[in-house]
Structure 1
Amino acid sequence: MAAVYIDISPAILDWLIKKNDLIGNETVYNVLMKWKKGDKKPTFNQIEQISKKMQIPLGYFFLENPPVEDCSFTEFRTVNSQGENEEPSANLVDTIDMMLNIQDWMRDYIKDMGQDKKAYVASCSENMPASSLAEKIRHDLNLSEDWMIAQKTAQDSFKFLRHRCQNMGILIMMNGIVGNNTHRPLDVKEFRAFTLVDDYVPLIFINAKDSVNGRLFSLLHEIVHIWIGINSIYNKVENNEENRVSPIEITCNAVAGELLVPHRLFISKWRKNQEPVLKKVSTLSKVFTCSQVVIARKALDTQYIQEDMYHKIVALAVDFYKNSQEKHAGGDYYKTMVSRLDPQFIFAIAASAQAGRTSYSDVYRLTNTNRTTFKQIYQKMLSGEGGVNS
C-alpha cells in the first residue's frame, strides 16, 4: 500500500520551526526544513513522531494558521506603559509558557507533598497605603527596615532578597534569553520582569538583560504584585511619566521604593548629608544600594528637590545606562545556568526523578538542560554555589 503524504500549511511550518528553536532539537529542525522547502512531504506517522518530540498537540499540525497563544492573564503594554496593547513577541510568549510549565509541575509536586497554600499571596489590597503594604511585606519576609544598609552593592541586595523570597516558597527565575537559545535574547525594552501569581507556587521571572539596579527594583516591584494578588508584566523605564502608568503599577513602584529606601531612613540620611544635590543623590544611592533615580524620586516626593532637578537626574541616569549597558555574555556557563534556575525547583524535580515519579526527559525539558548539565547544576546548588548575579 502506497504511503499517504500530507500537506502542512506554510504558516504552521514557520510556527513549528520557531517552536523548535526553543527546544534546540537539530534533528527535528532538519526534518521541518525539508518539509518547508518541499524536499519531502510528511506521512501521518512522521507528523505523529514530530508531534511527540516537540510535545505539541497532533491536531495543531493540521491547522491553516498557528493557534493563538493564551497571554490573557495580564495586560501587555508598550515600553512606555501608555496603556496601548501590542502583540507580545514570540520570545516573551515562549518564556511565559516555559514558566507556566514549571509552575504547573511545581504546584502538583507541592500538593503531593501535602503543603498548604501560601497565606501571604493576595493578602493585601492595592488600595492600602504604600507604607502599610511595605510594612506587611517586610513582616512576612522577616526583613528589618534597614535590611539594605548591610549590603555592599545592589547585586548583594538582589541576592539577599532573592534568598528571602525563596525561603517563603516564591520561585525566582532569571534569564536573558529564551530557554538556552542564545539566538533569542529577551528585550528589556519589552519587559523587565513578570509575575505569575499562584496560591501554591508564586513565580517571579527577572529579565537578566536589565541592569543590576533594574533587576533589584523589578524584584521588589514583582513581590508587591504577589502580595496584592495581581499578575504583571513590568516594563517601566526610568524616564516614564507617572501619569502614563496604570494605578496598580504606580502603587507597586511606590511600595518597592519604600521597601528599598524607607521614608524615615531616607529623611535622616538626606538631612545629615551636606553635599551638593547631585553628589548627595550619588552617595545615598550607594548607601541604599539602588539607582540614583530611586533616590531622586524619594527626594522629589519629600520636596527636597524640584521637578527640574528630578528630570535632570533621570536624564543623566538614562544616558549613563545607554552608554554603559552591561554585557551579559561570557562567564562560567554552569554558574550562569545556576543563576537562571531556582534551587527549590531543581531539588524538587531531582527528588521526584530519583523516586521515579518524573521522567528524566521531563527533567531536562523543563530545565533546558541535558544529563551532564543538570548534574553539574544540581551539584553546584547542593554545595551552595551561586550563579552570576544570583
Structure 2
Amino acid sequence: NKAEDKGIFIGKTISYHNISVKNMRGLFISNNYCPFIILNKKDAVSAQIFSLIHELAHLFRKTESISNNIDFRDSNNNISPEEVFCNKVAANLLLPASEFTESFYDKDSIEHLADKYKLSELFVFYRLKDLKKIKDQDLADIEIVLKKESEENIKKKELSKDKGGNYYNNMRDSNGALFNRVVLGTYLENKINFTEASNLLSFSVEKV
C-alpha cells in the first residue's frame, strides 16, 4: 500500500467490532508521528477505496474525521464544507473529468464505467451528474434505479452472516501491514517484550 509506505497506518474493522456502515465508513486520527486511518470492512470494496482517499484528504489538511456520511452526492446534502472538499478530492482522483470524452452517458455506460474503474454505479452516476454528462430527462429515472440497487446491496451485505474466517488473518488485516511491521520490528529490537508485542497485535507476535 503506497499510503503505508509513506508512514500512514491503515487498518480495518472486523466482525466483532459490529460497527455498521451507517455509523462509520471511515475514521482518521490526526497525528504527525503516526497518523491512523480506519476503514469499515462491512462496506463495499469500492466504497472503502473512496473512503480511503477521503480520509487521506483529511490527513493532508490536518483535520480529524469520523465519517459516517462520506457522500459523493455533496451538492445534494447538508454537510460541512470540509467534507464537501474531501469528497471532491476523492471524486476527482478516482474519476478525473478528462476521462469522460462523450457528450452524454446512459445507464449502460454507467455500468461499464463502474466495472472498468471498480467503483459503484451510484458513485459513477453522481460524478457524471456533477459534470453534467447525463441528459436532464434521464437523471431522475437512473437515480431511482441505482439508489434502490445500492440500498439493497448494503442491506444484503450487513444482514449476511459473517463466517468469521481465520482469526490471525483477520487481525493482521485489521491492524494493517505497517502496524504489524512496526510492532514486530520493535519487538525484534528488544524495545518491547513478547507479551507487550502480542497485546498490541491482539495475537502472538510469532504469527506476524
Using the size of structure 2 for normalisation, the TM-score is: 0.85
Deviation (angstroms), 1:320: 3.2
Go from structure 1 to structure 2 and tell me whether the alpha carbon gap of 1:239 and 1:226 turns closer, same or farther (over 3 Å shift). Answer: closer
Aligned residue number for residue 3 of structure 2:
165
Aligned residue number for residue 47 of structure 2:
214
Aligned residue number for residue 202 of structure 1:
35
Go from structure 1 to structure 2 and tell me whether the alpha carbon gap of 1:173 and 1:213 turns closer, same or farther (over 3 Å shift). Answer: same
Secondary structure of 2:77's counterpart equals helix
Letter in structure 2 aligned against 1:336: N
Deviation (angstroms), 1:355: 2.6
Go from structure 1 to structure 2 and tell me whether the alpha carbon gap of 1:351 and 1:243 turns closer, same or farther (over 3 Å shift). Answer: closer
Between Structure 1 and Structure 2, whose CA radius of gyration is higher?
1
Go from structure 1 to structure 2 and tell me whether the alpha carbon gap of 1:348 and 1:324 turns closer, same or farther (over 3 Å shift). Answer: closer
Deviation (angstroms), 1:185: 1.2
What is the distance in 1 between the residues matched to 2:71 and 2:85? 16
For the pair 1:174 / 2:12, whether they are aligned, the reply is yes
The structure 1 segments of at least 4 consecutive aligned residues displaced by more than 6 Å after TM superposition are none
Secondary structure of 2:11's counterpart equals strand
Secondary structure of 2:37's counterpart equals strand
Aligned residue number for residue 182 of structure 2:
348
What is the distance in 1 between the residues matched to 2:153 and 2:179? 36
Letter in structure 2 aligned against 1:175: T
Q: What is the number of equivalent residue pairs in this alignment?
A: 202
Deviation (angstroms), 1:309: 4.1
Secondary structure of 1:329's counterpart equals coil
Alpha-carbon displacement from aligned partner over 1:127-152 (angstroms, at most 9, x marks no partner): xxxxxxxxxxxxxxxxxxxxxxxxxx
Aligned residue number for residue 236 of structure 1:
69
Letter in structure 1 aligned against 2:97: H
Unpaired runs of 5+ residues, structure 2, are none
Aligned residue number for residue 294 of structure 1:
123
Letter in structure 1 aligned against 2:84: I
In the alignment, which of 63, 85, 93 is matched to residue 251 of structure 1? 85
Deviation (angstroms), 1:253: 0.7
Alpha-carbon displacement from aligned partner over 1:146-170 (angstroms, at most 9, x marks no partner): xxxxxxxxxxxxxxxxx01011111
What is the distance in 1 between the residues matched to 2:46 and 2:190? 42
What is the distance in 1 between the residues matched to 2:72 and 2:179? 36
Deviation (angstroms), 1:199: 1.6
Matches within 5 A, 1:1-390: 163-177=1-15, 182=16, 184-236=17-69, 242-265=76-99, 267-268=100-101, 271=102, 277-305=106-134, 306=136, 307-309=139-141, 311-312=143-144, 313-325=146-158, 328-369=162-203, 371=204, 374-376=205-207, 378=208
What is the distance in 2 between the residues matched to 1:355 and 1:321? 44
Alpha-carbon displacement from aligned partner over 1:303-342 (angstroms, at most 9, x marks no partner): 1223524632233322333245565433333322221122
Letter in structure 2 aligned against 1:311: E
